[in-house]
Structure 1
């Protein structure tokens, strides 16, 4: 039976004051009655740990829930990362999102792509985000918990009048997924450039940087990547230079300036989508970054993809992205 992952925003759907084991068993029995008989994992999201009393948190964790503390402005990103890891661990699963405002552009894109990878998506949200997004509301799951509260005399916050759920049943479009077209049928390679010092991008020649990245792979007997994903701060590059980078197969993804959480989470999601796309092929990813290994969330993603047989190579950008062409006689006439 397929695994079910529940991603629950406590700010939108507060947990009732009830024995956590009762809540967990109620969720499992409700899913079973709906025909979802496989194992269940439940993630709970809150703004910060001080919102959750220590004993309350420990009780829920002992019952099988997982807590994630994330600011409201980056919660969609974190929830998306957890959904992708869940999909990577369980190739065919049910992903249920109990959140009113899971509608950030990247989050909606994730729903599309996960749906195309045999994931059943159940999405509760406040407004229509995309007319072609095909979802079913998991509100019945939350309501079953509230019924258990009423039966056992617990307390809960009733938000029925605040939440609007829309169920859209329209065909899913066919998507072209970046990174799904590779040069080698045997081995897939990708490169990620974490441009923390985005101003340095203006001092490099895009063509030379792309050639140096290709050379890094070729010297290891691997095919060069189709493109390199560059994560840079907004306003770091003028429009004409972004176009020049794109012409050299360096795709620039703009990040809000100084927002390290969004930067790390976008890189993590890119890696996870590549792992999902190429799960059946040997894959090597080059990560050009100064400090990404210091982030706990990224390390969780790293361990997840490594456990599936993917190879990640970490290098500081300056070791490869020199201002001069990286020549080596072993490359012959490549340049």
Structure 2
């Protein structure tokens, strides 16, 4: 007979989230963290100033309704405020969605390998993961994902660009997929890296959500906008879905400082997106250098490059450490290398040269 408190059975099955490690100090060599897909630029002065001013009110609760942020997002995206839901990063919105829509045993379909938090969030909800393998070039196999939908499926997660492999789906591919998914199944279009996409026929997530009552788009201020430390993301969906996300949200979840910084970031968007353009240029330069070194790597539409190293993933990560760069290995699959400081990227290309032979 058990004599101590016991959590639900699924708690023991929750896989651990593995964050990107900080850089390892190396004597005589500047080390760089390329393991967490962070924006390497410091905050813009206006954003920093707004956050510092907001911090002076830390003795007060934040606006639980995030009204000012919703109004700013409404103006920026051209959607009514009742189509919006905010939370502590887009990952929190995915947790909330699964909590709102999944009963124990319900199925959640997603590509694999994809965002590491998906199987964690599914297990927390007591649901069942249905993982559909990526194609050989690191892309979502949307046809196979549609085939995997059953009467038990409640949610499908589409990560575009896909973290950690890099490719995005096109709008035509997404439209074809949505035509095959039953309307009672929620489709999440996870666009955490949308600002970095440079491709023909890119997904317009907001327009897609406005056109489909079972689609939710999730986005974040952590990547392109450089607010990873403040944890603020948002979803766009038609009012019934957006209301469900708000209903299960943690009260006062998004801090006052985070809300103010996000609003200031939207106001400074032109300057921030200039930085994104610079990161995209560096991404493309690194991608070309890695391929020239002999690696066959997938298309990169986020702020990272994927090395499909397979069983050599940990070996590749160790070689990167020797060069003073910390990367993110996924044992048995590959290594994700974030685009960060420009001076680190020559080492990434050197890593490619050393490890391909």
Identify which of structures 1 and 2 has the higher relative contact order when contacts are C-alpha pairs closer than 8 Å and 6+ apart. 2
Do they superpose with TM above 0.5?
Answer: no
Given the two structures, how large is their TM-score scaled by the length of structure 2? 0.30
Given the two structures, how large is their TM-score scaled by the length of structure 1? 0.32
